[in-house]
A and B are shown apart, each in its own frame.
Chain A
């Protein structure tokens, strides 16, 4: 069972999860015994001492009760401590397991799950599991034991009154099942409406300028009011069902008490049952019903947590698409790249290729430009080089070896990539740059920043290289962010470096300076530049023209101007009228 499997992640915290129920047994025993002693105190001891005029027996009983209360409190507190230790330890390990798994994911695995859903699994779902486990260790043993003990005591006291339970328990079960069955789908509807409501607020926050520019506030308000009314209606529909829980329990509980009072009362009158026993019996019956209620509550929670369990297991069961081979090659000889009839499709389906029959060779140290319209598979093509995805057919050689023969880290350390959707992380600029090389000296950092035309603006920042970037690098502009990302990649001193539209927000002149810097700073590194701007690729050794997943041409600027219509068209549209 999946839940049991997840519990396995408790690891060294397992002992707390086992100890906790044991301690809870201690608490429940005390809790069961205390009323019995109280009953004895009231029924026998006090009347006795009223007659004898000595309170010594009361003192004795009182002393025992105090000791028991202290014990019970001790057990209870230990239970709280143990369940916290076990539950939090469990959730910590589970979270770690998921996070570790995600670290092994390939791009394809990440595509499959989407970022938002991975985050939910790591946060909300794990939390849900933690609460579930903490409740489980405290209640799962305690409630049944309480139920059984109370039942045995009630049985020993007066078995003839037990048939009352035979009526009450099925009624309770039926009531709860009906309530849950009716409520569950309604709550699901409610959650959906909530999501829609939140989505509409979010949408308005993002697009507030559009709303205001088009003067649509009234329109948006109407939409929101309808959505808010929807939430309210669905919430009422759902909650009105759950509200029956309380009266159902009250009626059953009090009904049982009255039944006991009547049936037991007759026996008391007839002298076959003692008064004290009658009140104890009432207490037992209450305890039985309460613990059953608790169990049903536990069960409902378990059902609700099932969705979380499934979602977590999905991540843990996911097979990483790309792993290093055994006896992997550790060194990349040089920056040469060979595409040998490479085809690729995100689904792995050979009949529906995104990239078709790519076949070319790039010498080490060459500078290659790639241009093509949106959706022409530029990004796809370069992603295959550091093995972010595996080819569907054909093969790719880097430094003379198939990329699948390298240790993944060894390969990626030599093939740096500046992504289109790039991110910086919270922390100082220096910390972010050191992603490229953890041991880089300050001089090395300054040097790469000069190459990437980043040094000039970093110096103007308060704190310079030590300035904090804030979450997601919010403290720098788009162009500055791109230049920092380039510097970060340069610090790796790779044999191949790929720029995927990495200077789109940088102006033409700076862009040119960066390219010039690269040429002088790393002459032996193979450079691949994807760009929308023709000026970014014009001076490359060779330029590849991609159209709709196919390489339509590959050659120097002059050659392409002569023979490639697409290239010429792009060139003219961008350069028309330049002096």
Chain B
């Protein structure tokens, strides 16, 4: 439920800032609104001129017995026509301009949100559901769109027409105007009375609808379980309860919303009657008031009351838009991922003496460029993939430590495996290497450089990951593999697919490598998706590879098939492997057994088995991981 904005004024000002670049358009819009509102108010005035003209022409006709000269009437009507045309033109112009302004503002807001979102730290995404972030792109921008394209111009128009009619009323008769103004609070009281109840009941309705929709989603998604447990009748009962709650709350909310119109409308009829009465009394008492003035005054009442009831309704929409805008700004104000790194990754070659020299072209040799602020010198270190953890301590929240005093080293080309139960901290370790999270204590060195000094983008470029959950993007199979290296040739892509043993199934897809994948690769099996993710990492050709449960959804027979490819992929690289199945980690140089964030055993397969410790128990199924 969109709550009330916390800081209405600040948010409004910030929204206005967004409109700033469109100043010229907005001035034109204001002018056009001025014209249309002016014309519609003035039109009532003019109508009176026409009737009085007709009256006098009629008198002439009666006096002369022949048709009088109609040219004043023609002139007047042409004038009116021209005015109305101008007003219609202005109406079109302002809505068109406002449409252009609102769409370009929204376009900018969307891009700003997305660009900002991409730079937010992983932590931001950990703490929020996707639905919560999504709704800023959908619901909240929608309310903004309505605000800019409709509510905003309408509110301006209502306000102007209120001023115009007030001006004309005062000119016509002060006493009657005073009466109308005295009556206005009655309208405001009515609006507030209904508005309060309608607002509260809309909140109640929204809550009931939310509960019902949540129930529907959960039950339909779990429909198979419902059926396996013969739970249909119970589901129907629960549903009925929530369904009835929506009906009751919705009926109340819609009743109030529907009442506002007739009440406002007829209140203005009542004003009409009272003003007529006052007018009649004024006329009878010879206060200088006459019939034509009264007749001209009466339509102005509607012209005056209409904007008031409009503004009352627009107020709600404005509040909704501000609440939406606030959530959009919240996202934009979220601090982005910090990066104080200054060591960069550059192409390099070795000169005659074997020294590393920076070059422009791709050589296949990479080096860390390390400028030293102290003496202004620059050193180059070859990128090898040497990773060292020195007494690393980390917690997602400062007070809850997940990893305790972890030290480990991985020499270039070594395969290091992590074994342990869920929650032991295996994935966390890999998330620290690429700096998805920053450590609290200790140091992580990459080729001897503290990774905090390395630019995050360059650090991540030197690592390839195959994650626990495979995610693919809308696009062709080829695009998805190429995601690892945007300038990879078709041949590179196919070679990578062959390494991952994905080539075979890709060729059997309807359009081979050009088959479109949609909805996170929904048309592929879990195993096939994982093969693509492995191919994606293969095409990157990085010195360090992180495989987080990369083969968990591939059955053991298929895994045996890709093992060769995987071995080829891992050859000469530093590899970190996390796997549930112990068969996948056997041939690692070092296996770390983690428990509650502490490395409790380390060694290679044989030595660990010989130790007859936890690894041995785990491997033979004697030890329980909880």
Contact = CB atoms under 8 A, between A and B. Distances in A.
Q: Is the pairing of A and B real?
A: yes
Contacts of A158: none
A351 B377 CA distance: 75
A261 B50 contact: yes
B546 to A, nearest CB: 8
Given A103-B226, A512-B621, A426 B218 contact: yes
A239 interface: yes
A70 B290 CA distance: 29
Query: Which DSSP category, helix, strand, loop or mixed, fits chain B's interface?
Result: helix
Interface stretch (B94-102, B160-168, B181-189): B94-102
Contacts of B224: 107, 110, 388, 419, 421
A205 B416 CA distance: 30
Given A271-B58, A509-B622, A254 B118 contact: no
A184 interface: no
B621 A509 contact: yes
Given A228-B110, A268-B54, A88 B84 contact: no
Interface in A223-253: 224-225, 228-229, 231-232, 235-236, 239-240, 243-244, 246-247, 250-251
Contacts of A27: 262
A274 to B, nearest CB: 10
B582 to A, nearest CB: 9
A387 to B, nearest CB: 10
A477 B117 contact: no
B396 to A, nearest CB: 15
B525 interface: yes
A423 B221 contact: yes
B359 interface: no
A221 B117 CA distance: 10
A324 B589 CA distance: 60
Given A250-B84, A258-B81, A573-B556, A579 B609 contact: yes
A297 interface: no
A535 interface: yes
Interface residues of A, number: 155
Contact of A103 (B125, B221, B236): B236
A247 B92 contact: yes
Interface stretch (B17-25, B129-137, B318-326, B368-376): B129-137
Contact of A95 (B73, B243, B555): B243
B254 interface: yes
A58 B277 contact: yes
B37 to A, nearest CB: 13
B114 interface: yes
A297 to B, nearest CB: 16
Nearest to A492: B229
B96 A240 contact: yes
A123 interface: yes
B276 A206 contact: no
B280 A412 contact: no
Interface residues of B, number: 155
Contact of B107 (A206, A229, A409): A229
Interface string A195-227: 001111111111111111111110111001100
B27 interface: no
A199 B624 contact: no
Contact of A221 (B114, B253, B461): B114
Given A55-B280, A513-B624, A38 B460 contact: no
Contacts of A388: 224, 227-228
B62 interface: yes
B179 interface: no
A417 B474 contact: no
A46 B557 contact: no
A240 B620 contact: no
Highest count of chain A CB atoms <10 Å: which of B110, B235, B258, B261: B258
A103 B235 contact: yes
A524 B54 CA distance: 104
A73 B266 contact: yes
A72 B262 contact: yes
Contacts of B519: 199
Interface stretch (A78-86, A305-313, A342-350): A78-86
B61 A574 contact: no
B87 A472 contact: no
B117 A269 contact: no
Highest count of chain A CB atoms <10 Å: which of B214, B254, B559: B254
A77 B100 CA distance: 39
A579 B58 CA distance: 119
B283 interface: yes
A104 B284 CA distance: 77
Given A409-B230, A507-B625, A573-B560, A214 B283 contact: no
Interface stretch (B438-446, B465-473, B508-516, B566-574): B465-473
Interface string A539-579: 00000000000000000000000000010011001101111
A47 interface: yes
B239 A96 contact: yes
Interface in B234-293: 234-236, 239-240, 243-244, 246-247, 250-255, 257-259, 261-263, 265-267, 269-270, 272-274, 276-277, 279-281, 283-284, 290-291
B14 interface: no
Contacts of A570: 556-557
B236 A100 contact: yes
Interface string A329-362: 0000000000000000000000000000000000
Nearest to A90: B247
B370 to A, nearest CB: 20
A290 to B, nearest CB: 14
Contacts of B216: 99, 119, 122-123
Contacts of A532: 555-556
A177 interface: no
Contact of B228 (A72, A91, A386, A566): A386
Interface in A93-136: 95-96, 99-100, 102-107, 110, 115, 118-119, 122-123, 134
B624 A510 contact: yes
B220 A119 contact: yes
Interface stretch (A61-69, A159-167, A443-451): A61-69
B378 interface: no
B383 to A, nearest CB: 15
Contacts of B555: 373-374, 532
Nearest to A410: B230
Interface in B78-100: 80-81, 84-85, 87-89, 91-92, 95-96, 99-100
Given A202-B130, A247-B91, A417 B236 contact: no
Contacts of B220: 102, 115, 118-119, 122
Contacts of A243: 92, 95-96, 99
Interface string B18-62: 000000000000000000000000010001001100110110011
Contacts of A512: 621
Contacts of B244: 92
A70 B269 CA distance: 9
B77 A271 contact: no
Contacts of B625: 507, 509-510
B405 interface: no
A373 B557 contact: yes
B365 interface: no
B243 A217 contact: no
A209 B122 contact: yes
A298 interface: no
A53 B624 contact: no
Given A232-B106, A271-B62, 17 more contacts: A46-B283, A69-B273, A84-B255, A100-B236, A102-B223, A103-B236, A122-B220, A199-B474, A203-B474, A215-B460, A217-B119, A224-B115, A258-B84, A374-B558, A386-B228, A456-B626, A509-B623
10 contacts: A53-B284, A69-B269, A204-B117, A214-B483, A225-B111, A236-B103, A251-B88, A261-B50, A269-B57, A271-B61
Interface pairs A-B: 10 shortest CB-CB = A76-B262, A80-B258, A207-B471, A84-B254, A69-B269, A73-B266, A254-B84, A508-B621, A423-B222, A92-B247
